[in-house]
Structure 1
């Protein structure tokens, strides 16, 4: 499993190792966004296959950023690590804020997937030259505002901000709050407090900071971060009493820090009407989409109810209330289940009750995480076959166990083959896999008769069946 650590200020340099050359162009792929919106995103990070993997928890739901590769990083291997982590945790796989350049890759990866792209969260992305020069008729309004500002405050100048400007920045916030136009807006006040905290990071090598000064008075400031070919603007604030200072700041900041960048990202508008109007007036080159991918397994698409399967001697069907005594005896047979590979009792996370195992199987199907088939001989439950670990890429794992009193008659092979064929030809899987302990010769013989051996490690032999 991936080992995640909460994102902290101390992690900035480690994350920058990946974000510095990242060309996804979205604000979420930056240290600034992870730190500024930490309480909303709850980001945690890990490294896998030479890639940065970020897990967020938004409104109680776990979602992953698309992996960010370092030199030689393997994106597919990192995606596999994310998928495996979700399987182990028993949570849905969601990959969010996927850049447009990676969308086709995920569409090809997942046979069934729900994709969304909400307008509210698209980033406003501009050509750097447009904001640096404001050339052409469409920017005549910005030029007029800048000219008016310059005529009224001819000595105002832009200069970089450093850690030594701490007192000047603190005074700016006092001046800003004195004329803050959204004082009664809780959301705006929260954002202001976050901006203040971010400005305490001025001086960090991965942030660009600068401000407009009227003499020694700071009247506007901006904080940004270079990620690949994009300059991502995290914060822009100015005193409203200085008419025209905003476009003046935008132009000066692009001129001072835009070298080497093709794009300037001024982030999303969060559905704020005023922000949307303002950002559109600056003539974005594009509104960068942020795709949300929610892969779905085949059970969700093709299996409304557990079907009944027939073989030469057996019937396979859903567990029923009447099966509970026989099912409990099967699950609690410790000698038999030492080869099962899963601790049913430990997996409960609580005391064993009469309906415990039946309810686990029922919930797993309700959540479309697994299908538990009761294996029946003349109507009596003698075992179970479980299709589980759906990887959302056309694969699932199959396991089968038969009551000790019925072992040695080929019932396991018969049931296993039936569920494998059902998965491949009725559920439309492309691959069914299985494994057995190396010491379990009976299972090895059964799997060898139904599937192709794929490999082994110190503990297991691995098998697969493909279509």
Structure 2
């Protein structure tokens, strides 16, 4: 019988060892995203014969993520079926990436994936696009960036380190005081963003901030897995025109390497303003995620 235990700041590092086996570039198997939303989704994990699987509360029902690791997916699936039979629950898989849907469809004839929920689709960009913002389609972003540079010619971009991380936390704390969005999800995201900063080094995150006359006006934090840079936190002071466009470009430029080909800026959670903003940066692809019901008999 599988034994699931809640994610915490210690055991998440053990689970992260399996992230290298992920077959998609979705943000669900990342330390930052998983830790920030562990309470919201009641995230728990189990390891079975070198395969990891997560149990979550998703869209009001107990669901699982597709097993990942160096072991046998067939053995892991049988273990999940036995768990569901023992607990008298259906075997729902959630946030299944497109690359994995075919695995389930081919293995279990007759199952039909549900329609992907647009609110949960991740925005995937070509790393070079965001680092350079070249060409006509990025003229709007460049206009904001050029105005920022003209208004604040002495701005600096700094990488987040142990020496300056408290300043970043102070910026986020002040940002929280002036936060205008009223949705419970948006408030939760900001609260968890501040919490995540306490584990910046422990979780091997990367990040940076933009400073104007000694004051932080924008920051971003993420992590790199395989060929993708994941952006978990992105905040800016709108009183500084172009600060959001600047942090998007600088964060990309300072973290893109020959190995990093893509940037995942995660989903928009159905926020129309966020959706408009993320679309304006011309994603390479929207990474849809599916819910799939697998028979347990």
CA distance in 2, matches of 1:58, 1:205: 25
Bigger relative contact order, structure 1 or 2 (CA pairs below 8 A, ≥6 apart): 2
For the structure 1 residues 247 and 119, does the alpha-carbon distance in structure 2 shift closer, same or farther, using more than 3 Å as the test?
Answer: same
C-alpha distance 227-22 of structure 1, shift in aligned 2 (>3 A): farther
Alignment of 1:445-460 (within 5 A): none
- Asked if 1:90 is matched to 2:104, the reply is no
- Which residue of structure 2 lines up, in the alignment, with residue 265 of structure 1? 264
Q: 1:59 to 1:138 in 2, by over 3 A?
A: closer
Alpha-carbon distance in structure 1 between the residues aligned to 2:26 and 2:33:
10
Say whether the 8 Å CA contact 1:7–1:44 is kept in structure 2: yes
Aligned residues: 295
The equivalent position to 2:197 in structure 1, one of 196, 199, 202, is: 199
Once superposed, what is the RMSD of the aligned Cα atoms? 1.7
Distance 1:3 1:178, change over 3 A: closer
Corresponding residue of 1:58: 58
Partner of 1:309: none
TM norm structure 1: 0.60
Q: Report the secondary structure of 1:283's partner residue.
A: coil
Shift of 1:134: 0.6
* 1:122, distance to aligned residue in structure 2 (A): 0.6
Question: In the TM superposition, what are the counterparts of 1:214-363 in structure 2 within 5 Å?
Answer: 214-259=212-257, 260-296=259-295
Asked if the contact 1:40–1:58 (Cα under 8 Å) also holds between the matched residues in 2, the reply is no
Q: CA separation in 2, counterparts of 1:130 and 1:49? A: 40
Q: Who is 1:131 aligned against?
A: 130
Other-structure match for 2:118 = 119
Mapped to 2, the partners of 1:54 and 1:225 lie a distance apart of 20
Q: C-alpha distance in 1, partners of 2:4/2:185?
A: 30
How far off its partner does 1:294 sit? 0.9
8 A contact 2:105–2:112 mirrored in 1: no
2: CA distance, partners of 1:186 / 1:107? 36
Change (3 A) 1:231 1:192: same
Instruction: Assess if the C-alpha contact under 8 Å between 1:21 and 1:227 holds in 2.
Output: no
Q: Could you tell me whether the CA contact under 8 Å between 1:168 and 1:217 is conserved in 2?
A: no
Equivalence for 2:97: 99
Question: Considering only CA atoms, is the larger Rg found in Structure 1 or Structure 2?
Answer: 1
Q: Which TM-score applies when normalising by structure 2? A: 0.93
SS in 2 for 1:163: coil
Partner Cα separation in structure 2 for residue 112 and residue 96 of structure 1 = 18
Contact 1:55/1:65 (CA < 8 Å) preserved in 2?
yes
Secondary structure of the corresponding residue to residue 242 of structure 1: coil
1:144-181 superposed Cα distances (whole Å, 9 cap, x missing partner): 11111111111111111123324312321244245433
What are structure 2's unaligned runs of at least 5 residues? Answer: none
Shift in CA distance, 185/87, structure 1 to aligned 2, threshold 3 Å: closer
CA shift, 1:105, in A, is 1.0
SS at match of 1:113: coil
Q: Write the deviation string for residues 48-81 of structure 1: whole angstroms up to 9, x where unpaired.
A: 2322111112355211111121xx3322222222
Could you list the structure 1 runs, at least 4 aligned residues long, displaced by more than 4 angstroms after superposition. none
Shift in Å, 1:197: 1.0
Question: In 2 relative to 1, CA 63–174 (structure 1 residues): closer, same or farther, beyond 3 Å?
Answer: closer
Matched, 1:190 2:188: yes
Per the alignment, residue 74 of structure 2 pairs with 76
SS in 2 for 1:196: helix
8 Å Cα contact 2:63/2:91 also seen in 1:
yes
Which residue of the partner structure matches residue 155 of structure 2? Answer: 156
Residue 43 in 1 paired to residue 53 in 2? no
Alpha-carbon offset, residue 2 of structure 1: 1.1
CA separation in 1, counterparts of 2:117 and 2:153?
A: 43
- Give yes or no for contact 2:12–2:31 (8 Å, CA) kept in 1: yes
Quote the residue 1:450 is aligned against: none
